[in-house]
Amino acid sequence: MPMCATTHHDRVGVASRRHRHLYSQNLILSLHLCAKLEKAGSKHQPSPMQKTVEKTEPKLQELKTRLTEIRDIEAATSVLDWDQATYMPNGGAAARGRQISTLRQIAHEKFTNPTIGQLLEDLRPYAQSLPYDSTEASLIRITQRQYDRAVRVPSEFMAKLSRHRAESYTAWAEARSENNFAALQPFLEKTLEYSRELANFFPGYDHIADPLIDTADYGMKAAALRSLFSELRSQLVPIADAITSQSPADDSSLYQNFPEAQQLAFTEKLIAQMGYDFQRGRQDKTLHPFTTSFSIGDVRITTRVYENHIGQALFSSIHEMGHAMYEQGISPDFEGTPLADGTSSGVHESQSRLWENLVGRSRSFWKYAYPQLQTIFPNQLGNVSLEKFYRGINKVERSLIRTDADEITYNLHVMIRFDLELQMLEGSLAVRDLPDAWNARYESDLGILPPNNSEGVMQDVHWYAGLIGGMFQGYTLGNIMSAQFFDAALSNHPKIPTEIEQGNFTTLHNWLKMNIYQHGSKYSADELIKRVTGSPLTINPFIRYIKQKYGEIYTL
């Protein structure tokens, strides 16, 4: 007798459209037959599967209800975070730290409530009876993984960590403007203490950074990242040396007076053309650009504007747009659950770097966009050729600032930070010695010495508003993944560069939505990469892309 289903699964997780069609047809036939049997007054007993569904449905609904309540509290916390980084007056810092701490503690206590643990335990057999990548099985699996992690961390610790992070961010914003690392040192020492304490809630690690890395990039460990980064570094350094030994590209056209209002108007028009939905988002200014999601219907980005440099707002906006379009493209069915997130920092970064670099710094893109930019800034760019502008935005140089770095040296910036945070966690580098260690690495790795700490060790917000450990590896993982994903998109749609040249971003955007965005956090990064590209993570597409693009620009 067919199962008289009371629910259906929108995503059955089978490998082809044909199989999905067959599944749907069988389900429809089953439902029709069940209806006939019920109408005829059949006295057959319910099947074991029907009993399982009837028994499970209330528990699954209770789990979803509880998770949505927690997500709502987390969203309210994110609103306070966003406001602190955009519009909040400095005088609100102390209270804001308390408010954020209170909400995060409540959310953590609700999530670690034993009732959720029991619901997950009761639902496990049900999840195991479903296809691995069905929505319900994925929700139970991902929630279980997050729950197992969360119950190890006391709510009181999360509260004090949240309060400290809010206070540290405010201290960083003030100290950075004054080039005053000494004022920030006590905050960073406390962050290091809390980072070690958090890691130690997860004993049995190979390296103290592993639990922190795992939070952002599930499944990754310090040893594997060191090996991957070493391989990448061996490929990038010779390319960087070959390019920087030549006369640098002329990027002087980027350093003129570009009024802020016009820059913001242009970036907003451009990212809307590329696919960012302003009906479900907005753009604001901040010190360090970021993206935040309050729901799938409200995903906001920030940028920073330098009136003497057009590249800052331009590429910050495109970068954050990439993050935001990922969040906007998640299946609406996942709203209010742990599935409504990007799957890892590396995958998230792959989407921002794909749009910023593989699209936003391509010649095809600027064949379309540059005439528009010239129209907005005729006095500044009217006599600057497309080729000169293109070479300028792809200038390779040994620079100080990570967010300004070119595609080749950018990863060297990330590796410096990754190494330093491992050393701090290991205890081989004290916070008081961090500025000197930072400067020494910049001089040895990039041949440049920061003139001050604001442009050196204090330039990034991550250690001062987050943790030490797991903060930076995602950027380089994202660069590697971006090329691998873009390769797969081009294999399926070779005309994408031609379409971009015509201002048509729909094919690429839809491909990303179908293959990456809609899945949210359903798959791990490893699973997603293999599913989308057919192979595990590899640096080969990224190195091939770098050699082809910059070999042509610099005639290597």
* E strand spans, 121-243: none
The one-letter amino acid code at 289 reads P
pTM here is 0.87
Q: Which two tokens stand for residue 470?
A: 């797991």
Q: How far apart are CA 176 and CA 184, in angstroms?
A: 9
From 122, 101, 120, select the one nearest 111 (Cα to Cα). 120
65 CB neighbour count, 10 Å cutoff: 11
315 DSSP β-pair partners: none
218 DSSP β-pair partners: none
Q: How far apart are CA 360 and CA 289, in angstroms?
A: 17
End-to-end CA distance of the chain: 70
Q: What is the pLDDT of residue 288?
A: 85
Q: What is the pLDDT of residue 19?
A: 39
Q: Which two tokens stand for residue 402?
A: 């990570």
Three-state DSSP state, 339:
coil
Q: How far apart are CA 527 and CA 404, in angstroms?
A: 32
**Contact yes or no for 553/373 (Cβ under 8 A):** no
Q: What is the pLDDT of residue 287?
A: 86
Is 320 catalytic? The answer is yes
Q: How far apart are CA 31 and CA 36, in angstroms?
A: 9
**Contact yes or no for 318/365 (Cβ under 8 A):** no
Choosing from 136, 167, 320, 421, which is the catalytic residue? 320
Q: Which two tokens stand for residue 372?
A: 């528009």
- In sign, the C-alpha dihedral spanning 506, 507, 511, 514 is positive
Q: What is the pLDDT of residue 45?
A: 57
Per-residue pLDDT 10s for the chain (556 aa) are: 334 433 333 333 333 333 333 334 443 334 343 444 344 444 455 555 455 556 678 999 999 999 999 999 999 999 999 999 999 998 998 899 899 999 999 999 999 999 999 999 999 999 999 999 999 999 999 999 999 999 999 989 988 998 999 899 999 999 999 999 999 999 999 999 999 999 999 999 999 999 999 999 999 999 999 999 999 999 999 999 999 999 989 999 999 999 999 999 999 999 999 999 999 999 999 988 999 999 999 999 999 999 999 999 999 999 999 999 999 999 999 999 999 999 999 999 999 999 999 999 999 999 999 999 999 999 999 999 999 999 999 999 999 999 889 999 999 999 999 999 999 999 999 999 999 999 999 999 999 999 999 999 999 999 999 999 999 999 999 999 999 999 999 999 999 999 999 999 999 999 999 999 999 999 999 999 999 999 999 999 999 999 999 999 998 8
Backbone dihedral angles phi then psi of residue 332, each to the nearest 5 degrees? -60, -25
- In sign, the C-alpha dihedral spanning 339, 286, 108, 110 is negative
Only one residue has tokens 């990007």, namely: 342
Three-state DSSP state, 429:
coil
Q: How far apart are CA 532 and CA 485, in angstroms?
A: 7
Q: Which two tokens stand for residue 416?
A: 């410096």
State the alpha helices, DSSP H only, in 427-539: 434-446, 462-465, 473-492, 496-501, 506-515, 525-533
Q: How far apart are CA 203 and CA 192, in angstroms?
A: 18
- Cα-Cα-Cα-Cα torsion 78, 84, 87, 88, nearest 10 degrees, comes to 130
> How far apart, in Å, are the Cα atoms of 205 and each of 169, 201, 219, 422, 437?
29, 10, 12, 14, 26
Q: Which two tokens stand for residue 343?
A: 């799957």
Q: How far apart are CA 14 and CA 60, in angstroms?
A: 22
Q: How far apart are CA 411 and CA 479, in angstroms?
A: 8
From 396, 394, 399, 388, select the one nearest 244 (Cα to Cα). 396
